[in-house]
Structure 1
Amino acid sequence: MGLTTTVRDIIAELNRQAAEHQVHRLMLIKRISADPTYQREVKRIQQSHGRQVFHNAPDGWRVVLEPSSDADSPHFSPAVNALMNEVHMNEASLSCIRAKIEALTTFLVPVFRLPPEVLVLIFKAGARMPQDGPVTETTVPRPFPLVIASVSRQWRDIAINTPELWTNITIQHPRHYNWIPVCLQRSCGLPIDVTMDCRSTNLITAPVVDCMMSRLMPHVHRWRRFALMTCDPAIAYVIGRRLSDASAPQLRHLQLSLSGSSGNQEVVLPDILQGGAEALSSVRFDSLATPWGSAPLVNLTTIDLRWLWLRTRLQYEQFRDMLAASPRIRALILRGTYIHLHSGRTYPPLSIPTLRYLELSGDTVCRMSSLLSTPALEELTLANLDETEFREFVESLPLPITPDGVGGRYPALRSLSLLNASMCTPTRSFMLALPTITHLTVINSATAKFLELFRKEHAEDGLLSWPRLRKLTLVDDVDYFLLYGVVKERAALRMPLERLVLNAPFIHDEYLVSTLEEYVDVDIVKDVDLDH
């Protein structure tokens, strides 16, 4: 016999008992109402005090309030009092039966029949998902573990007894102050991820952050990730003072981001984590600087620098030393202003043989891409380029000696992403300079110009542009007929696309999607995180 059958049988038996209790209750009420002494006493009470001394039950029975020793209180015969007590006991039993039925009914919902070990895996996956907005419809974001703990008693027990669910401490509101000790206790000594996002409210001030840090710092040895996002330099300085000589032996990722609309704000921290952060492998700094090229910014695999202004941007020598201190770097992100390169000055190239991902933006894309030697680069992202900068970048690319990319700037490149790029029309030489591309992502960057170049009439010697292209992501205004022609032609020439990712407007026309799906798998995205 399955669990569902057993639960249904138990519920059926409880329903039968509830029906019997209800029949017995109505019979008792009928006997009480027919008793002459009850009728006389009810009439007397109504004449003396009105109807407010009675509680009308849903079935119309007028229940008199509990008897007391007062002279004006109801005085029923012993027989009536006994019957009324029996009614009350019956109603208490009926309430318990109905509560059991309600609790058992939840087991008939498929999700509540999942084994606890499966629910634990689901909850752990949910806890790792980013919570950018409120999980519930309240004005204050509600932490994920509290949401699932409020669903049922079983889910609450699982949540409380799964320490991994409490390792992600996200603070977006002062009310989350009391959330900190709960997580620290229930995470049971596991490594924790701390995110302090102070951008959405002015209630999280520097003193408030300092108070929160006083609770977090005794557990700094457990930190695995720490991220601060703020628009207030005072908050950044508070964090800097707290972390100046701290030791965080398990810390892998550190993000300190200062942003906002109050001009070119920037913060310089003289020291950070001088107690040691041996496991640190990834850093992101926005408008914030600390001593470059020295501990703990050594042996990194990911460096992310964004909008470093006058006091925080690096000189060429500082950037060179920072790269030298991390010989196994795999990802480098440089956005906005970051390195000061003097016009007219020639700089020695910087070799990064281990680099796999590179993102460049701003008005020095061409110079930086020419300066960096990245023979193993697999993914390249170019963002916020104007047409002149894009043209200079294209013209700076050397043509490979072979179709496999040998002799080119990026012989191992597989993925190219263009974000908010005001491009001139891509040329055939641009395609030939990057012959190994298999994935192309175009976001707000003149999609039609690329699609035109993919058409058969632009092929040379029967060879289409980027013959290895298999995945195409277009988050932009797309001409359906142009796109359909490209997809169909590549399939006919046995160079088919395998996956096509489009933005939301296509989801409203199932016919357009279905015609494309004859040749390629189509996915629809509603938004794209440009701040990854």
Structure 2
Amino acid sequence: MQQHQAVADARIAAARVQAEFMRSSHRQTHALPNEILAAIFEAGSFEEWSRQKTFSVTVSHSRRWRNIALHTPAVWSTIFMKMAPGLRQIDAYLERSRACSLDIRMSVSYVEWFSRDFKEERELFARVLVHADRWAWLTVTMPDNRQLSSLIGPLRNVQFPRLESISIRSTHNYGDEGMDLAIFECGTPVLSSLCVSGVAMPQCLPLAIALTSLDLGWMPHPLSHDNFRQMVLASPLLRNLSLYGEAVDFSSHRTIEIPSLRSLRIRGFSGEVGHFACRVSGPVKSLRMPVLRSLVLVEAWGQFMSDLVQACRLHDGFPTLQFLDISSTEISYVDAYFLITSMTGIVHVSLPGRKILDHSHTHSVLRQLSKKHSHGMDLWPRLRTITINEIDILGGQILLDVIQQRIARRQPIDLVRSSSFRTILVFDFHWLGDHKRTLYFTLFKFKPRSILTPVNDMPLDLPLQPDQNVDLSYDGSMSVMLRRETRQCGQCHEVSLSGSNKQKLFEFQQSVTSSVSLLVNDI
């Protein structure tokens, strides 16, 4: 008897140890307040989950988690219909979300489209459509524009009082009939973002009064000039416009003024190479944008880019334009000059690297900026930031010339960065190999005091003398990273060094000043 009691006591003790271990291992999670867990669950609900690990199963990890999730309606407000969940699951989401606004998302891949008839998706869509008064976001992406048109057809006569964002995309064109996107007939009074691609949109008249962002991709039938004009005139708050070059019929070249537009993005390509390439000059010729600050040109090549540059020359100017992105374009040396002179107020420019079709045009803009022009004319005198894609040896040399000339003219380039990083690092110039090259990195002006952080050392506050320049030369054992930061003491910069030569680190610490041109030799 005593032996059995001892065995039972040992099992109880082991169970207590195991329970205590489990409580300890999850103590940090269990100690989180309910509000924090609810916020975590809500953030996770926006992500798409696999069939093996669904969101509803994950938040049911424990009774406490499940209770918190069930009492947080916003957790159930995002409904994904890619995996074709059953009607019971859709009903559960609709019930648990209570009165919350709904985010409806459906994304169908080409493989899924090829092997299914989407009858179940139509039933699910019809079930969710009953709650149209709660829809706030709608995202539908399908390969077949005919299937897409059939799916969204029932939306034609429904009111969406809360709908703020619509994104409807078709990635393939399988016919031109019966694909009109006319879901605005009953009104979307608070619609602020509209993205349409692959389906025809005949009109969107005064039903998009609150529209602030408009993205029109490729369409089977371009939107007529008059309908587009009526659309933008009915949207006095429109700030961001993205257009496939021929999404709108601009052939008449009649002027359309968009007084509130701040950002314009023009795409010159859609679909397979050479198949849907189009003119990108139409929007520039027809649109008047008195407060435009940002212009992005995407995949504009050859003659299409030349036509756009000529349109810019004939334009009445872009007096407020500060940001220009031509990183995915191809522009000739001559066109680069006319582009620069037609946009004189540029502060930030994003340039193409070596991965473009015609390598002779890779550095056309940099070459114009490095050239000494007649009559003492300065190109882009306000330019402060350059973003550039992957660069080669020639590009590095031209970039060096540009920076040196800017320093001499007291118009320094504050920051040069890679398109894939927040700043350009020395090891981005790996193509130098055994070549000896000199590269300048010019920082923003420091505040009177800044922070220097050598790798593996504590941050060191340094008194800096204002308005001084010091050139520092180091060998290949050094790597240098420049980073801009904002701290409580104000705007400052952090310079991180790595290398085995502690003496050179010390010399750098003693020599750094308020405006630094860092000279790196023999990388």
TM-score normalized by structure 1? 0.67
What residue is the counterpart of 1:223 in the other structure?
Answer: 135
SS across alignment from 1:314: coil
Q: Deviation string for 1:179-205 (max 9, x for gaps)? A: 533432333321121111112523664
* 1:352 matches 2:258: yes
Pairwise CA distance, 1:413: 0.9
Map of 1:388 onto structure 2: 303
Give CA deviations for 1:423-467 in whole Å, capped at 9, x if unaligned: 212533321211111222335656533333333x44666665323
Structure-1 separation of matches of 2:139 and 2:282? 31
Cα distance in 2 for partners of 1:464, 1:434 equals 13
Match of 1:519 among 437, 443, 450: 443
Which structure 2 residue ranges, 5 or more long, are not aligned?
269-277, 431-438, 445-481, 485-523
RMSD between aligned residues: 3.8
Aligned residue for 2:340, secondary structure, equals helix
Name the structure 2 match of 1:496: 413
Kept in 2, the 8 Å contact 1:328–1:354? The answer is yes
Asked if the contact 1:293–1:323 (Cα under 8 Å) also holds between the matched residues in 2, the reply is: no
Aligned residues: 419
Q: CA deviation at 1:103?
A: 1.9
Deviates more, 1:262-271 or 1:376-385: 262-271
2:20 pairs, out of 62, 87, 100, with 100
1:325 lines up with 2:234 in the alignment: yes
Distance 1:259 1:511 in 2: 35
Equivalent in the alignment of 1:280? 191
Task: Report the counterpart of residue 280 of structure 2 in structure 1.
Answer: 365
Distance across 2 between alignment mates of 1:274 and 1:393? 36
Q: Deviations over 1:107-132 (max 9, x none)?
A: 36xx776555455555555555xx4x
How far is 1:420 from its partner? Answer: 3.0
Q: Greater RCO between the two (CA within 8 Å, min separation 6)?
A: 2
Shift of 1:230: 0.5
Deviation per CA, 1:204-252: give whole Å up to 9, x if none: 6431221211331122111111011001234323333321111110001
Match of 2:157 among 237, 240, 245: 245
Corresponding residue for 2:489? Answer: none
Q: Equivalent residue of 1:503, what SS?
A: coil
Aligned letter for 1:193? D
What is aligned with 1:213?
A: 125
Q: Any idea what SS the aligned residue of 2:419 has?
A: strand
Q: 2:167 aligns with which of 231, 244, 255?
A: 255
Aligned twin of 2:213: 302
Aligned counterparts of 2:54 and 2:20: Cα–Cα separation in 1: 30
Matching residue's letter, 1:473: T
Secondary structure of 2:341's match? helix
Q: 1:267 and 1:496, CA in 2 relative to 1: closer, same or farther beyond 3 A? A: farther
Cross-structure match for 2:101: 191
Question: Hey, what's the Cα distance between the residues in 1 that align with 2:379 and 2:219?
Answer: 38
The yes-or-no answer on 1:169 pairing with 2:79 is yes
3-state SS of paired residue (1:376): coil
**Separation in 2, partners of 1:185, 1:245:** 24
The alpha-carbon distance between structure 1 residues 144 and 353, as it changes in their structure 2 partners (threshold 3 A), is: farther
1:411 counterpart SS class: coil
Q: 1:35 — aligned with what?
A: none
Equivalent residue in structure 1 for 2:346, among 437, 442, 467: 437
Q: 1:509 to 1:113 in 2, by over 3 A?
A: farther
Which residue identity lines up with residue 361 of structure 1 in the other structure?
R
Q: Distance in 1 between matches of 2:425 and 2:262?
A: 37
Q: What is the rounded CA distance, in whole Å, between the counterparts of 1:112 and 1:447 in structure 2?
A: 56
Contact 1:272-1:290 within 8 A present in 2 as well: no
Q: Which amino acid aligns with 1:519?
A: L
- What is the percent sequence identity of the aligned residues? 22
Cα distance change on mapping 1:267 and 1:449 into 2, 3 Å: farther
TM-score by length of 2: 0.68
C-alpha distance 122-410 of structure 1, shift in aligned 2 (>3 A): farther
Paired with 1:218 and 1:504, the residues of 2 have a C-alpha distance of: 46
Whole-angstrom distance in 1 between the partners of 2:182 and 2:264: 28
**2:150 aligned with 1:235:** no
- Tell me, what secondary structure is at the counterpart of 2:229? helix
Distance of aligned partners of 1:349 and 1:273 in 2 relative to their CA distance in 1, 3 Å threshold:
closer
Tell me the distance in 2 between the aligned counterparts of 1:145 and 1:471.
46
Cα distance, 1:319–1:123 mapped onto 2, change above 3 Å? same
Amino acid at match of 1:240: I
Aligned counterparts of 1:178 and 1:460: Cα–Cα separation in 2: 75
Higher helix share: 1
- 3-state DSSP of counterpart to 2:131: helix
Q: d(CA) in 2 for partners of 1:313 and 1:90?
A: 79
Q: Give the secondary structure class of the aligned counterpart of 2:241.
A: strand
Whether the 8 Å contact between 2:313 and 2:339 is mirrored in structure 1 is: no
The 1-side partners of 2:342 and 2:153 are apart by 49
For residue 453 of structure 2, what is the aligned residue in structure 1?
none
Alignment counterpart, residue 412 of structure 1, candidates 316, 320, 323: 320
Q: Which structure has the bigger radius of gyration?
A: 1
